[in-house]
Chains A and B, each alone.
Chain A
């Protein structure tokens, strides 16, 4: 539904006094500084990943693949904390599909197990396998894929044929190329791609190791350029910062839109509850790497950090300043306490999932049909996020900002309907 969602135009805002006006600007500055720092950390950790990928391709080995996987996992820590900037900031929302689109029909990219099935009603390209095919027809068009480049991924393959599950770029495409399919169902274990999938000559397994390496390299390079773009948007003179701070009341409403939409519709709903209800490990956010517990946990931490106006960087330094929490406390101290308490409770509940997963009860095991303990753990996180959304709505009401009913192409841009 991404294409239909836009949440930019805010409605009229109720009056605010001069004192509060000043502090809203300061809150927006803290928020923008935190956004910049989080994306910068996402970029530097992705650069470490890119270096590890280069090393893997230069001298393939089990150790080199493991190093690249560890770099990917580390890169997810700051990135997941940025997701709270998505909804509410149009520049971020329009961009994020390039780096974090999910879920994907991974058969588009590389070989998959026979149990995966073939093309579907929804997606004719579900098993296209670009790594194995230097040319193919896609949506009725002949494609020359003899060279796998960032441009091929971005312009031809990403969302090919208008299907969102055709994810050719970003963290999850790279995740698939590093881990491979997780064929363990709701049993323990992540994807187990052999390092020899990147070996040269006769050592190469599953064919086309050179093209697979080319794909991995192209996807990683693209991730770097995409992250460079978004870091620039939040710099002192960046467009996302300018858009957010143009009107302080609209800006505050954008912060709350991001917090509420990520809490409720996205993380609690689409990513967590749906997986439990379907008992389907393919609904895991990081289903190849089995890193889903961290995805959710760092979403929660990111939401909390935006409210408290404090972010702990990957080098341990702290970016902080006047916060939304301060602003709410001036208006309604007990509501601020409630909000802080709900955010802490959600992070704690998401932390329980992480704790269990890291001690061997992995996220896909929690999803198994009839696994009551797993369901209770995940639903604890869902309920924490849903509960905090109620308080976010109360904050919206208390600050006198208005969250617009999110528009759609046909609402905000009538011409688009006829395109």
Chain B
């Protein structure tokens, strides 16, 4: 009986991995869209009504690549400068408030602005300026406008640098036998690690932080809640990791169904900033979504990794 089952398993066409597809159809288009959207953002006028739509599109483009944390995104701390979150010590509002109260001239020069704390740069800092009352109320001040534009231009410059870096990195990844990827297995392991880490981040940070504990829910810890984007990020990221998963394990219907389930649950939530985690009813639904994301991770670790003969590498979430 057992032998028969094993035979059937082996006889089924095995899901394969497709590094070229992951690079050419997922990673490169993703970073190219980010570069494009952030250029539009940097070109937008200072007025909030002009900036907000550009902010939204550019932030969407970032979330769609936010799981691809290796290679060019990590050089010069570019990804951190684009997206510093979570921020448990409130470094973003503190850094912004200090720049504003000092009217720090560092905002006048792009290269100098690149030395500012990552907490005062990137999408999450921009969100504070556009949506938090503490800053949004002074939006007519000339300094705030200069600061805002320093941030949007810095975002665009980092996105462009990552895109440029990927032109070379794509070659390393798709033609292994170099010091970055000695074998194809190392390239697959990198992609697999990015996929697993992206899902872990969604489960533990995007969902887990606002959930807190049953006794002590923490809705104020939800990602990008000031711009009502918390749930949106979960959906976008699940869609993006689903696309990557399709290249790492092609034709794996079971895996795709797990993504489908999680995405449907997220779309049905109707709780854009996870405010309902404070109620037992609302919390159960967010928990169910988190369980579904964990189910995907479990499947990746228990089924996909052994099939590919790899294990996830170390990631930035490994510490405490």
Residues of chain A touching chain B, judged by Cβ–Cβ distance below 8 Å, are 1-2, 4-5, 7, 11-12, 87, 97, 103, 120-122, 139, 161-162, 165, 260-267, 269-271, 273, 276-280, 282, 369-370, 389, 392-394, 396-397, 402-406, 408, 410-411, 414, 417-419
Q: Are A406 and B298 in contact (CB under 8 A)?
A: no
Q: Are B302 and A408 within 8 A (Cβ)? A: no
Chain A residues within an 8 Å CB radius of B119:
277-278
| Contact of A121 with B185 in the complex, beta carbons under 8 Å | no
> In the complex, are the beta carbons of A408 and B294 less than 8 A apart?
yes
A11-B306 contact in complex given A278-B119, A411-B294, C-beta closer than 8 Å: yes
B208 to A266, Cβ gap below 8 A? Answer: no
Chain B residues whose C-beta falls within 8 Å of the C-beta of A270 in the assembled complex: 319-320
Mask of B175-197 contacts with A, CB within 8 angstroms, 1/0: 00000001001000100000010
- A219, B294: Cα distance in complex, Å: 38
Q: Which of A262, A282, A370, A402 is the one whose CB lies under 8 Å from B311? A: A402
B277 located at the interface, meaning its Cβ lies under 8 Å from any Cβ of chain A in the complex = no
Q: Known: A4-B204, A410-B294. Contact between A417 and B301, CB under 8 A?
A: no
Least Cβ–Cβ distance between B296 and chain A, in angstroms: 11
How far does the Cβ of B181 sit from chain A's closest Cβ, in whole Å?
Answer: 10
Contact with A along B76-98 (1 / 0, CB 8 A): 01001100100011110001000
Determine whether the beta carbon of B311 is less than 8 Å from that of A403: yes
B166 to chain A, nearest CB (A): 19
Complex formed: what's the CA distance from A280 to B92 in Å?
A: 12
The distance from the CB of B300 to the nearest CB of chain A, in whole angstroms, is 7
Q: Are B290 and A410 in contact, CB atoms less than 8 angstroms apart?
A: yes
Kindly identify which residue among B301, B310, B320 contacts A266, using a CB–CB cutoff of 8 Å: B320
Which of B95, B117, B221, B300: most chain A Cβ within 10 A?
A: B117
Q: Are A396 and B216 in contact (CB under 8 A)?
A: no
User: Pick the contact of A279 from B117, B294, B320 — CB < 8 Å?
Assistant: B117
B300 — which chain A residues lie within 8 A by C-beta?
405
A389–B90 Cα distance when bound, in Å, is 30
Interface residues of B (CB under 8 A from A): 77, 80-81, 84, 88-91, 95, 106, 112, 115-119, 182, 185, 189, 196, 200, 203-205, 208, 212-216, 220-221, 287, 290-291, 294, 297-298, 300-302, 305-306, 310-320
Contact of A406 among B88, B89, B220, B318 (CB under 8 A): B318
CB neighbours (8 Å) of A121 from chain B are 90, 220
Q: Among the listed B215, B312, B320, which residue makes an inter-chain contact with A403, where contact means beta carbons less than 8 Å apart?
A: B312
When C-beta atoms are compared, the residue in chain B nearest to A371 turns out to be B115
Given contacts A161-B216, A162-B212, contact A269 B185 (CB under 8 A): no
B314/A369 in contact, CB under 8 A: no
Given pairs A264-B315, A264-B319, 13 additional interface contacts (CB within 8 A) = A4-B204, A11-B301, A87-B318, A122-B90, A263-B314, A265-B317, A273-B77, A397-B310, A402-B311, A405-B312, A408-B203, A410-B294, A414-B291
Picked from B88, B91, B220, B298, the residue with its CB within 8 Å of the CB of A411 is: B298
Q: Are A12 and B315 in contact (CB under 8 A)?
A: no
| Cβ distance B57 to chain A, nearest Cβ, rounded Å | 26
Return the contact of A418 from the options B117, B189, B200, B287 (Cβ within 8 A).
B287
Query: Which residues on B sit within 8 Å (CB–CB) of A263?
Result: 314
Other-chain residue from A5, A165, A397 in contact with B320 (beta carbon distance below 8 A): A5
Please name all residues of chain B whose beta carbon is closer than 8 Å to the beta carbon of A393 when the two chains form the complex: 189, 313-314
